[in-house]
Structure 1
Amino acid sequence: MDRVDPTPLTGTVGRRADAYAAAPLLNCLLREVAQALPGDGERPAYRLPASGRLLRVRPGRRPADPEVHTAGAWHRVGHTELVELVAEELRRRTGQPGGDLPAEMVDSRDAVAALLDARARTTPPADPYLRSEQSLLTGHPHHPAPKARGGGPPAAWLPYAPEAHARFPLVLLGVRGDQVAEEGDTAALDALGTAPPGYRLLPAHPWQLGLLTRDLAPAFADGRLLRLGTTAFEAWPTAAVRTVYEPRRDLFLKFSLDVRITNDVRRLWRHDLLRLRRTDTAAVRAFDALDAPAAWLSDRGYRTAAFAFEELAVLVRDGLRGHLLPGATPLLAAGLVEGFEGSPLAAAADPDAWWEAYLRQVVPPALTAFDAHGVVLEAHLQNTLVAVDAAGTPVQALFRDAEGAKLLADVSRAAGWERLVYCLVVNHLTEVAAALAEHHPGLDPWPAARRELARHRLPEIPALLSAPALPVKTNLLLRWTGADGAATRYLPGPNPLSGP
């Protein structure tokens, strides 16, 4: 990425940043808190029950132009006023002050403004896969602060931001041999450079290393850690921010990052690392048994330093080439929803056929892994790649992230099913369906989705297709009440599958 200094973010950039940041916050407010009022006008109205305030918005999958009713008239509110409105409502509702969340909402808006400014001076990657990974300017469509970056100045994080089309070399560290902790296949790390005798190579994310300067000073001073320079190549950050891809080596690396992004501080936690091989092995076996082109990108192993087990951990993930069908181009599902130049979703000549092909690739592997192999994939938009052929038709799905996957050996089938329905249907299919319908007016995506789900003989499917509600995650209330980053609570939301 070209190095640029942030400039004052006003005028057009500021207004666009307000709109980008308001949409997911409004989605949360309308889903979790607001009560719809009767009427079906151009701007649906809602009551905020704790404060009694009235709100109306321009509807859509990305609601916009919020207005509040005061002094007998509707008045437009910007993002700052919207944050204040949400904070007032939730303080009254919960009796809690909300911790850092109001500041994170503001930080998320300011981060979007910085990203817009940076994107105006950079060029998106030519590779469509990388372009899809780096397209998420809105990000999670139902999170109050999806682009918050820990409150730091843009200069500290823009060089590592996928949304700003960043790419950068990794820092190479040497860890003294008796201090190495690892499990699984980490051979790819040894090919990144040369470590001196008695040491092993450990790549580090430069942003994370900067955050750890003081903590690691003793290890550098006593020789447990050495600085060995940087990689000869640049890595591209993917949508997950802390996961990078090096195309020539076809190598994914996932790092710890002590920054809160959406609901969690993105550290590779010890308890997740210690169960990683078991979960990943189960997922590999499940996909090996599938009679489908779908693939699992294995988290092959991890390496870290024993004295900074979580802070310096790095995961080695399978690349794409060994899994892709010949001639297929992988694309991030979340990028298809967000939109990027060359997206086949927007360009589909026959959107009904495109959608049926999409469902045929994505749905069966997730259901079969659950029912036949006890693996609950975290099959949401950012963990699913959809490969398309030369005509842009989906021909393969690839899933990733053993850290987020669950095993039915560890959770009840009911809990696993609820999580799968949320990730696959609510978070994933409903968003792709809405984006497709927006680009292709008149399309009804849900009959095809019902047909695809009905083909599978899971005992839970009939209830899924007839239930009045689906579980929707309460990201706003979770964050406001200070829940653990891995916590999940659901509310009932409309079920588009329960049509005729």
Structure 2
Amino acid sequence: MERVDLNLPPAADDTDRADAYAAAPLLNCLLREVAEPLADSRPHGTTAGPPGAGADAIRTYRLPGVDRLLRVRGDRRPADPEVYTAGAWHRVGHTELVKLVAEELRRDTGLTNHELPAEMIDSRDAVAALLAARARRTAPTDPYRRSEQSLVTGHPYHPAPKARGGGPVAGWLPYAPEAYASFPLVLLGLREDSVVEEGDTSALDALGEAPPGYRLLPAHPWQLELVDLTEAFADGRLVRLGTTDADTWPTAAIRTLYAPEQDLFLKFSLDVRITNDIRRLWRHDLLKLRRTDEAAGRALAGGPAAWLSDRGYRTAAFAFEELAVLVRDGLRGHLLPGATPLLAAGLVEGFEGDPLAGAADPAAWWEAYLAVVVPPALSAFAEHGVVLEAHLQNVLVAVDADGTPVQALFRDAEGVKLLTDVDRAAGWERLVYCLVVNHLSEVAAALAEHHPGLDPWPAARRALARHDLPETAALLASPTLPGKTNLLLRWTGADGADARYLPLPNPLAG
């Protein structure tokens, strides 16, 4: 049967393309967390594989719960799933794959879950809508925006990375970064006796003008469609003031928008499950925001790495989480002169002008990448007790005119952990997962795929070995790395922040 390539041109069959995009991360989860590799298959995990072996390799696994054989083509983004039945291999479409995964997990865990299969189907349907929208629209000319809005696959190890809460496409597509969306903010007036804020929120007041007795409160238009504020508008605690004059555009995080004219990021609450969590600005996170943000800022002071500060938040006392807006630093005050920021996850996914794919000297490019990303994350941990959430979607890598990495910018205080609050071993495990498994392993695999013959792991070992920490020495000697189990977390109904890990082969262990 004809192979479905994730890089097929838009003229390819839309159903096949959507199935391929949606199946790849679901298969990654299944092969990492549940399946048993057979003798002819390397365990599926985080390694880039032998040079040149990833794209067309066929790997076979046993699904222990249903006692069936499954084989896939490729490594980093597995495709073309087939199961062995009645003496032959049979192709499995996305719908059949979802049923197979659900039955495997039901037998493996003894638990049923009706929500997750629906999310998997929703994710696939969302991909189809995104592909159709992208085919009708022109990609942004700004390379930074292109990198943030390139994630059609999304989280490569989540069973439903593109699910949008099961709502109709018309409800969410106008706000989808993957569809190159841009739109103005809704401006609300919040009565002064209902305002709750902390930190520096002055940038919000520059977005418009509030009437006497009110403060300006911007809102994401999708946010307002998801929450009932009828009473607050009726009794005057809220008034509508129109929209901003200029558009904002959504970053890869969907609920975080960039206002280019103000050079400002704004993060909102959305009552929608996106990957593992309902994406609200939770009260407990907002109340500790200043402390974690200031600690991260101190840890990254003195550059060239930078911290995009979550300066403060403003919200309504009667809808504390629902209407919260977080004010985050923009880019211009942090970037090195002449540098162009790019989302690390976008480098892995790929976009027009992606310097990872186009590197003339990929080994030197990788050395430069490691030099800007690894030292600040390890120094923050070792010298300041700060565990940065240094995964692919929280790191911007700035490149010079030749596309060479020259700076890393870290963001999102909500995901930062402090060693004063968490056990050091748990903090280190989280850092290793975010920085090495989620981030460096994916960049390494993409680099090896684009540049056959390159082995990225010796350089990564050297970069980590330069830091004289007992934890790094143990990491380089360990046979395994911690891999987050997103499929099992969602199937068992665990809290989204309750990370659980399983051991994966460690390509750093020489």
1:412: Cα distance to partner?
Answer: 0.8
1:226 maps to 2:226 = no
Output the amino acid matched with 2:180. H
The Cα RMSD (Å) is 1.2
Find the counterpart in structure 2 of residue 278 from structure 1.
Answer: 291
Find the counterpart in structure 1 of residue 187 from structure 2.
Answer: 172
Find the counterpart in structure 2 of residue 27 from structure 1.
Answer: 28
1:425 maps to 2:440 = no
1:472 maps to 2:476 = no
Q: Which residue of 244, 256, 278 maps to 1:243?
A: 256
Find the counterpart in structure 1 of residue 4 from structure 2.
Answer: none
Find the counterpart in structure 2 of residue 493 from structure 1.
Answer: 504
1:97: Cα distance to partner?
Answer: 1.1
For residues 449-464 of structure 1, the aligned pairs below 5 Å read: 449-464=460-475
Question: What's the CA shift string for 1:362-401, capped at 9, x where partnerless?
Answer: 0000000011001100000000000000000000000000
Find the counterpart in structure 2 of residue 298 from structure 1.
Answer: 309
Q: Secondary structure at the match of 2:469?
A: coil
1:137 maps to 2:152 = yes
Q: Secondary structure at the match of 1:486?
A: coil
What CA distance in whole angstroms lies between the structure 2 residues aligned with 1:287 and 1:55?
46
1:257 maps to 2:258 = no
1:238: Cα distance to partner?
Answer: 0.2
Find the counterpart in structure 2 of residue 3 from structure 1.
Answer: none
Question: What's the CA shift string for 1:133-152, capped at 9, x where partnerless?
Answer: 00000000000000000001
What CA distance in whole angstroms lies between the structure 2 residues aligned with 1:282 and 1:487?
23
1:10: Cα distance to partner?
Answer: 12
Q: Which residue of 29, 39, 44 maps to 2:59?
A: 44
For the Cα contact (< 8 Å) 2:188–2:240, is it kept in 1? yes
1:89: Cα distance to partner?
Answer: 0.2
What CA distance in whole angstroms lies between the structure 1 residues aligned with 2:396 and 2:251?
12
For the Cα contact (< 8 Å) 1:376–1:408, is it kept in 2? yes
| Structure 2 unpaired stretches of 5+ | 1-9, 42-55
What CA distance in whole angstroms lies between the structure 2 residues aligned with 1:246 and 1:386?
20
Q: Secondary structure at the match of 2:136?
A: coil
1:439 maps to 2:440 = no
1:462: Cα distance to partner?
Answer: 1.0
Q: Secondary structure at the match of 1:46?
A: strand
Question: What's the CA shift string for 1:161-214, capped at 9, x where partnerless?
Answer: 0000000011000000000000000000000000000000000000010111xx
1:66 maps to 2:81 = yes
Q: Which residue of 143, 147, 165 maps to 1:128?
A: 143
For the Cα contact (< 8 Å) 1:183–1:303, is it kept in 2? yes
TM-score between the two structures when normalised by the length of structure 2: 0.94
TM-score between the two structures when normalised by the length of structure 1: 0.96
Q: Secondary structure at the match of 1:119?
A: helix
- Identity rate of aligned residues, in percent? 80
Find the counterpart in structure 2 of residue 16 from structure 1.
Answer: 17
Output the amino acid matched with 1:387. A
1:183 maps to 2:190 = no
Question: What's the CA shift string for 1:331-388, capped at 9, x where partnerless?
Answer: 0000000000001001100000000000000000000001100110000000000000
Output the amino acid matched with 2:152. L
Output the amino acid matched with 1:249. Q
Q: Secondary structure at the match of 1:451?
A: helix
Q: Secondary structure at the match of 2:300?
A: helix
1:129: Cα distance to partner?
Answer: 0.2
Find the counterpart in structure 2 of residue 196 from structure 1.
Answer: 211
State the 4+ residue runs in structure 1 displaced beyond 6 angstroms.
Answer: none
For residues 308-327 of structure 1, the aligned pairs below 5 Å read: 308-327=319-338
Find the counterpart in structure 1 of residue 367 from structure 2.
Answer: 356
Find the counterpart in structure 1 of residue 413 from structure 2.
Answer: 402
Q: Secondary structure at the match of 1:173?
A: strand
For the Cα contact (< 8 Å) 1:99–1:482, is it kept in 2? no
Find the counterpart in structure 2 of residue 6 from structure 1.
Answer: none
Tell me how many residue pairs correspond in the alignment: 487
1:99: Cα distance to partner?
Answer: 3.5
What CA distance in whole angstroms lies between the structure 1 residues aligned with 2:285 and 2:213?
28
Output the amino acid matched with 1:483. A
What CA distance in whole angstroms lies between the structure 2 residues aligned with 1:409 and 1:57?
44
Find the counterpart in structure 1 of residue 6 from structure 2.
Answer: none
What CA distance in whole angstroms lies between the structure 1 residues aligned with 2:308 and 2:342?
14
For the Cα contact (< 8 Å) 2:183–2:247, is it kept in 1? yes
1:59: Cα distance to partner?
Answer: 2.2
Find the counterpart in structure 2 of residue 378 from structure 1.
Answer: 389
For the Cα contact (< 8 Å) 2:57–2:75, is it kept in 1? no
Question: What's the CA shift string for 1:199-231, capped at 9, x where partnerless?
Answer: 00000000010111xx21000000000011111
1:285: Cα distance to partner?
Answer: 1.0
Output the amino acid matched with 1:20. Y
Output the amino acid matched with 2:174. P
What CA distance in whole angstroms lies between the structure 2 residues aligned with 1:461 and 1:285?
22
